[in-house]
Amino acid sequence: MGSISYQQKRCYMNLVQRVEHWGDTHHPQWLDIVRILLGVFLCYKGIDFLMNMGTMLALITNRMSFGSFSSMMMSNYIAFAHILGGILLIMGVLTRFACLLQIPILIGAIFFVNNDLYRPFSAVLLPVVTLLLVILFLVVGNGKFQMLTFKEKV
């Protein structure tokens, strides 16, 4: 009970390849615009976090019991992952990797930062919608409008 057999690994890889193929073939053009807008939003939030690093650091320190070094590393990771992920989503390069960078940050934003889930007009809607969009682009990929296809045409 511990190791996965070769057949099981092959089955899992086959499933990943099928999901990737489905995402590549079922990608409407308007999703590219949504992907680019999501990338712009993530870049904006990353720059906003960098400009307000003290506030974000205080929020992380107050909500979670980390040391000061861990809090500083986490706040820098959040800011730079948003900027890098946003740029990658805008260009349509390494889209699934960029989405994987965002998922732990957004889950943390939903459960740890926004603790007023049951209040009316809570601020949890924005991270939930962002998480759902990131999961969508994790499945469907980058689409037709991307930097690599633009580079091939030039």
Instruction: Give 137-151 pLDDT, tens digit per residue.
Output: 888 877 766 665 555
3-class SS letters over 100-125: HHHHHHHHHHHHHHCCCCCCCCCCCH
Report the pLDDT value the prediction gives residue 65, as an integer from 0 to 100.
74
Determine phi and psi for 48, rounding to 5 degrees.
-60, -40
In the predicted structure, residue 130 carries a pLDDT above the cut 90: yes
Instruction: Give 63-121 pLDDT, tens digit per residue.
Output: 777 777 888 888 889 999 999 999 999 988 888 899 999 999 999 888 776 666 566 65
Higher pLDDT: 2 or 44? It is 44
Q: What is the value of pTM for the model shown?
A: 0.75
Higher pLDDT: 124 or 90? It is 90
CB-based contact 74:59 (threshold 8 Å): no
DSSP-assigned letter for residue 4:
P
CB neighbour class for 42 (10 Å; exposed up to 12, middle 13-18, buried from 19):
buried
Give me 79's structure tokens: 């800011």
In the predicted structure, residue 153 carries a pLDDT above the cut 80: no
Q: Using alpha carbons, list the distances in angstroms from residue 81 to 49, 53, 58, 59, 109.
A: 11, 14, 19, 18, 14
DSSP-assigned letter for residue 1:
-
Report the pLDDT value the prediction gives residue 13, as an integer from 0 to 100.
63
Report the pLDDT value the prediction gives residue 135, as an integer from 0 to 100.
92
Q: Using alpha carbons, list the distances in angstroms from residue 95 to 35, 84, 90, 135, 140.
A: 9, 11, 9, 11, 9
Instruction: Give 17-70 pLDDT, tens digit per residue.
Output: 776 666 666 667 788 889 899 999 999 999 998 998 888 888 777 777 777 788
Higher pLDDT: 106 or 125? It is 106
Report the pLDDT value the prediction gives residue 104, as an integer from 0 to 100.
92
Residue keyed to tokens 């682009």: 137
**Three-state DSSP class for residue 92:** coil
Report the pLDDT value the prediction gives residue 115, as an integer from 0 to 100.
60
Q: CA 135 to CA 131: how far, in whole Å?
A: 6
